[in-house]
Structure 1
Amino acid sequence: MSSLPVDEDGTEPTPLRRQPTQRRSARRVERMLDACAHLLDDVGYEALSTTRIAERAGVAIGSVYQFFPDKRAITQEVTRRNVELFVSRVGARFLDEDYRGWWEAVDAIIDEYVDMHRSVPGFKSLHFGDVVDLNLLDSDSENNMVIAGRLRGLLLEEYGLADSEELDVAVLVAVEAGDAVLKLAFRRDPKGEPEIVAAAKQLIRSFLSRRLNPRRQRQQA
């Protein structure tokens, strides 16, 4: 299970036409990404345009095209930023909080997803880009497969689960199922219907317990 794709020099490729080399340029790119995220929440992807992004960010349209070829590329970079923020926040929770095992860590991952859905601009509109393109993050892998790879890596590092094809499949199915149920929770309630969020946790915990550790599932029952 691969994570985000990597170039030959070890860096992750981005949709940027060129990397900003000065702090002022980097701040300008961040303003464009922030503007895109807010507009996605306000007007949606179909009504999004580079002109609107430039106006919202307070930059010339030429500055947008200096770094991005089109709105899809900007949206892709917003999605990448969301993924990195999600993984970073989950990793920080793993450092700051003590869990009895991976099953409580999975609950924390879902809690972070729900919190970002409520508070991070653009996250509720894009999730991980699925409303735009199933292969937005990686042309060779669907978005949830990329996310599953990142989360699988965290679980392997923290809890020493056996690295296997069974783990690959189990985490991918858990991500797909959890994503679908959590989307339902936010369709029912803009803040996420608590009963459905709780059901998502129970569903994922039960599934992973059966696939990864039947004996622990019996102990937890």
Structure 2
Amino acid sequence: MDERGAASPSHSVTVRHEPVQARAAHRIEALLDAAAAVVVEQGIEHLTTALVAERAGASIGTVYRYFPDRVAVLVALAERNFERLRHAIEREMAAEHATWGEAMEGIVGAMVETFRSVPSFRALRTGEGLDLGPESREPVAPIFVADVERYLRERWGVEMDDARRGDLELAIGSLDALVTYAFMHDPDGDPRYLALGMELARQHLTRVIGDDAA
């Protein structure tokens, strides 16, 4: 039953509805925090709704109220991870960087900090590539490409053609792959792969933007 069904039909329904929604959102966040802890401690393959309930100190009925099965929990957790990464990158793109090279370092730093600070991100990331059945997530890389393309146009005056867009895709793809690999066995990120990711991204972005603004 959704939260609207829990409110009685009366003239005060709007007043009562908002705090109910807030409580539901808080409850969902707590369940996702519990799921993230289970993923970190036991692995994605061992996540169950029962373990989420136990870790959250909630009843299994509470979990099922919001998530019908473990796949739904993983999808919601992946979506939250995606939003946290995207917001971290957006904050960097909103900052006043003097050069695009400085901006890129900030964006990479936001990615690295997300891997380090968001529980479950190393294991789950944003969910693409996982076998989640019919709920498998679509690739998120095109979303980040579009975000960065808009940023380069609005902040640095870069107009994209097919060649530039291809280099931008390679910059983001190589950076994502190497940052991910850097955290595969190192919770702080292997600095060798982080440096290589930065170098390759810079090479491709230089083709997109040129040297003048770096």
TM-score (norm 1): 0.76
CA distance in 1: counterparts of 2:3 and 2:121, whole angstroms: 24
CA distance in 1: counterparts of 2:82 and 2:157, whole angstroms: 23
Q: How many residues align?
A: 197
Q: Shift in Å at residue 195 of structure 1?
A: 2.6
1:137-216 residue pairs with structure 2 within 5 A?
Answer: 137-138=137-138, 142-210=139-207, 212-214=208-210, 216=211
Identity level (%): 30
Query: CA separation of 1:163/1:93 partners in 2, compared to 1, >3 Å: closer, same or farther?
Result: same
Higher RCO structure, 1 or 2 (CA under 8 Å, sep 6+): 1
Listed as ranges, the gaps of 5+ residues in structure 2 are 5-19
Name whichever structure is richer in helix by fraction.
Answer: 2
Match of 1:101 among 99, 102, 105: 99
Say if 1:156 and 1:162, in contact at 8 Å, map to a contact too.
yes
Query: CA separation of 1:153/1:136 partners in 2, compared to 1, >3 Å: closer, same or farther?
Result: farther
Give the match's secondary structure for 2:45. Answer: coil
Query: CA separation of 1:42/1:156 partners in 2, compared to 1, >3 Å: closer, same or farther?
Result: farther
The match for 1:82 is: 81
Give the match's secondary structure for 1:46. Answer: helix
Give the match's secondary structure for 2:188. Answer: coil
Listed as ranges, the gaps of 5+ residues in structure 1 are 1-16
Q: Shift in Å at residue 178 of structure 1?
A: 1.2
Say if 1:87 and 1:151, in contact at 8 Å, map to a contact too.
no
Q: Shift in Å at residue 40 of structure 1?
A: 1.3
CA distance in 2: counterparts of 1:73 and 1:95, whole angstroms: 33
Say if 2:53 and 2:63, in contact at 8 Å, map to a contact too.
yes
